[in-house]
A and B are shown apart, each in its own frame.
With several copies, the nearest count.
Chain A
Amino acid sequence: MQSTADAFEDLRKDFPVLNRRVRDNKKLVYFDNAATTQKPNQVIDAISDYYQNYNSNIHRAVHALAEESTEAFENTRDIVAKFLNVEDSREIIFVRGTTEGINLVAYAWGRDNVKEGDIIVTTEYEHHSNIVPWQLLTQEKKAQLKYIDIDDNGELMLDQLDDYLSTGKVKLVTFSHMSNVLGTISPVEEIVSKCKNAGVKVLIDAAQSVPHMKVNLNEIGCDFFVFSGHKMLGPTGVGVLWAKKEVLEKMSPFLGGGDMIREVHKYETTWNDLPYKFEAGTPNIADVIGFAKAIEYLEKIGMDNIRNHELELTKYALEEMKKIPGLTLYGTKEPEKRGGVISFNFNSVHPHDVGTIIDKDGVAIRSGHHCAQVLMEKLNVAATNRASFYIYNTKEEIDVLIAALQNVAKVFKL
């Protein structure tokens, strides 16, 4: 790649939506990347190409199209495995997204392994998809759900984890690699090593980390790892659950149906090998194939370059936002400890109103609880504004956001 800022500027041309004009012919500034990212032509075209040229159901047929689609589909599994440094691509299971992946674990692993009185530990900054499945499970099993609280800096209070682990009742510790609201990057190594010492399983919700930083699953040492393709240039409807082969092999199946079976008889059935045991029914073939192109695109830029680019944007944005009177920033002040996600509130103006007003200037941020109401309760707010960055964002766009926020003050006569 050529030298950084230019190179990143250059890749904007691959994203057709970035040419969009919105509202009164305003240039789109897309800062809602933590919700979903935009897609490059490479991904969009791969999906069209599949439908135009070799669309077919996979795995079972012997005809030409089926062979081509099966190969492209399975090739994606290998690409995902390499991207995460996973040796055995049979450990890669395609799901709809992070939410389905976590629920799969809660049903297929949780129902067999969590008993009355057991503890599942999560954190205060989790997305609803890493809370609700465990509420459902612990309620069903009369087990307990415990939270690691966050401190004023938005960081996890790990001594609470020690307390929980010391009870000997913890079966699973589950946490997000990066908070989708505060941007806080969790101390993965420390958590995993504590859990491993206690013989406790670990699930990492990587929805916000895998798109933005290098991840090496061979080193992390967790047991389950889940993320969504649509938050990393990929199509909607594809996500990944990774787990160790030994764990997956012992797990009961989740959804029953085609492809996940070896032999079906009237009253008993045997399960297929990994990963198929957990991929019942026709998968989202086109989008899995498109997802491969998203990973290739990210790898070409380099995950470390992406992390640096976002860090630069985040530093710049934090500096500029600090200058705005009445603006409250959430999360740690140290940019190195966070990803490219900035949550803020502006005077007493409700985030919904901020969102609507700056949207008129073409700026797309998210305003709401970000599916993190437990965290909102902790921060003692109903909602926040959130600007989140990705590879195609620029400092100039941050300037537009800043100007738009000034405008909010005018509308509300602050």
Chain B
Amino acid sequence: MSGDPIYTEMIIEYSRNPSNFGKIADAHIHQHDANPLCGDTIDLYLNIEDNKISEVKFDGHGCAICMACCSVLTEMIKGKNLDDVKKFDKDELLSELGLQHLVKTSPVRIKCALLSLKSLKFGIYSYFVDKMKDSESAGNLNEEAANLY
């Protein structure tokens, strides 16, 4: 089955051994989200220091796609500046795993892929509201998260 457009070595590997899997006690940001279509749930934990993502973990149940995307997303944002993270978009994430085609081919599975990103955006949204008092950025994040799929 080499050449499977979804179940690449990389995705299977991540689904077995997800990166950054676990909880952060008393995280600055804790976002819970669910995919109402399949029952998958994830919890995303972020700590922020000096406007940077100093620590990130995720926890939950999900399919291989969801687990791989959570893994890659957390890897990609770790240590990043909040301003960069806030601009992070779905193409960056999907292309890292070669999953851009899902946008067109699978309206159902794309939701598995982007659940992580949606949680991230909603998670830092609250942070922008409460801590940064930056309602413009917050508004954008909220819109983006809602329109992701």
Contacts and interface: CB of A to CB of B under 8 A. Distances in A.
Partners in one complex: yes
Given A67-B107, A383-B38, A350 B7 contact: no
B28 to A, nearest CB: 23
A262 B35 CA distance: 7
B2 to A, nearest CB: 10
A356 B66 CA distance: 13
6 contacts: A67-B108, A349-B64, A382-B39, A382-B62, A383-B38, A411-B7
B39 A62 contact: no
A263 B36 contact: yes
A352 B38 contact: yes
Interface in B19-78: 34, 36-41, 61-67
Interface string A178-208: 0000000000000000000000000000000
Contact of A71 (B62, B67, B107): B107
A413 interface: yes
A254 B81 CA distance: 43
A413 B63 CA distance: 16
A75 to B, nearest CB: 10
Interface in B95-122: 106-109, 112
Contacts of A353: 7, 15, 63-65
B6 interface: yes
Interface of A: 59-62, 66-67, 70-71, 74, 259, 261-263, 270, 272-273, 276, 349-353, 356-357, 367-369, 373, 376, 382-383, 407, 410-413
Nearest to A59: B37
Contact of A263 (B6, B15, B34, B112): B34
Contacts of A263: 34, 36, 39, 41
Contact of A382 (B1, B15, B36, B61): B61
A67 B105 CA distance: 9
Contact of B36 (A62, A67, A261, A349): A261
Contacts of B61: 350, 382-383
A382 B67 CA distance: 14
Contacts of A59: 37, 108
Contacts of B1: 407, 410-411
A67 B108 CA distance: 7
A60 B12 contact: no
Given A350-B64, A368-B39, A74 B107 contact: yes
A70 B108 contact: yes
B4 interface: yes
B113 to A, nearest CB: 11
Contact of A262 (B15, B34, B107): B34
Contacts of A407: 1
Contacts of B36: 259, 261-263, 272-273, 276
Contacts of A259: 36
Nearest to A367: B38
Contacts of B15: 350, 353
A350 B108 contact: no
Given A262-B34, A410-B1, A412-B12, A382 B40 contact: yes
Contact of A60 (B6, B37, B62, B67): B37
A382 B39 CA distance: 6
B146 interface: yes
B106 A67 contact: yes
Contact of B38 (A261, A368, A411): A368
Contact of B6 (A74, A276, A356, A373): A356
Contacts of A276: 36
A325 B22 CA distance: 30
B74 to A, nearest CB: 19
A143 to B, nearest CB: 26
Contacts of A383: 38-40, 61
